[in-house]
Chains A and B, each alone.
Chain A
Amino acid sequence: MLTITQALVDQIVAHARKDHPDEACGVVAGPAGSDRPERFIPMLNAAMSPTFYEFDSGDLLKLYREMDDRDEEPVVIYHSHTATEAYPSRTDISYANEPGAHYVLVSTADTDGLGDFQFRSYRIVEGEVTEEEVTVVETY
């Protein structure tokens, strides 16, 4: 189960909306071992694509150095799908390399309507996807 604050959910959704129609991506880091997402870190999608995302390699190194120095880990790795549902694609699954992370997917496919904005979370371990419940709280 992913437990996350409303403020972080709002930040992730706002980032996804801002970058639409390109895919948005980023991380919410938290203290190592805590499973508590705390620090919102929007990343640049180096692919600048509506169908693909990739963290810039220089930014990626900086991000991991910084998390290492602060004794953090990527608790949430999020990205948006801009034309399809918020479910991991085959590409997402084959490049998922953080078995400890919650992979959050938001879909901006419905930004023109008033339908539910999809915000879903998954574990992706060795190619296997498991959807999990998302609990949104005011504070931890």
Chain B
Amino acid sequence: MAIEVRIPTILRTYTDGQKAVEGTGDTLAELFADLETRHTGIQARIVDGGELRRFVNVYLNDEDVRFLDGINTKVADGDNVTILPAVAGGMA
């Protein structure tokens, strides 16, 4: 068992086009570090300065992890993690 991570289109360049990959770790931070070992470059697109990037949404089993413990949210085998860049902008 592992943690399934769904990858958005924009980050599939790091996963050879795969829509979902698997990883391990006890927290999201560890999970993203684990993904980095096989998908070089992906971690920096999600994490910045030890925190989740402001305009990247990460969901654990459909819950936005900002309402959980952010990057320190605990994860376990069988969990599903979804990464989605925010759709945002504005005139400023």
Q: A residues near B, CB below 8 A?
A: 23, 25, 27, 43, 47, 49, 51-55, 57-58, 60-61, 64, 73, 77, 79, 81-84, 88-92, 95-100
Contacts and interface: CB of A to CB of B under 8 A. Distances in A.
Interface of B: 8-10, 55, 57, 59, 62, 64, 66, 82, 84-92
Contacts of B86: 54-55, 57, 60, 95, 97
Contacts of A88: 89
A92 B90 contact: yes
Contacts, number: 83
B89 A89 contact: yes
Contact of B91 (A25, A60, A91): A91
Given A23-B90, A99-B10, 16 more contacts: A27-B87, A51-B90, A52-B88, A52-B92, A57-B66, A60-B57, A61-B59, A61-B64, A64-B8, A83-B91, A89-B91, A91-B88, A91-B90, A95-B55, A98-B87, A99-B9
Contacts of A82: 91
17 contacts: A27-B87, A51-B90, A52-B89, A53-B88, A57-B57, A57-B86, A58-B64, A60-B84, A61-B82, A64-B8, A79-B90, A83-B91, A89-B89, A90-B92, A91-B88, A96-B89, A97-B85
The 7 A-B pairs of least Cβ separation, nearest first, read: A52-B90, A92-B89, A97-B85, A54-B88, A55-B87, A57-B64, A97-B10
Contacts of B8: 64, 97
B91 A51 contact: yes
Contact of B90 (A55, A73, A89): A89
A47 B90 contact: yes
Contacts of A57: 57, 59, 64, 66, 86
A98 B89 contact: no
A82 B92 CA distance: 11
B49 to A, nearest CB: 17
A100 B10 CA distance: 9
Contacts of B89: 52-53, 79, 88-89, 91-92, 95-96
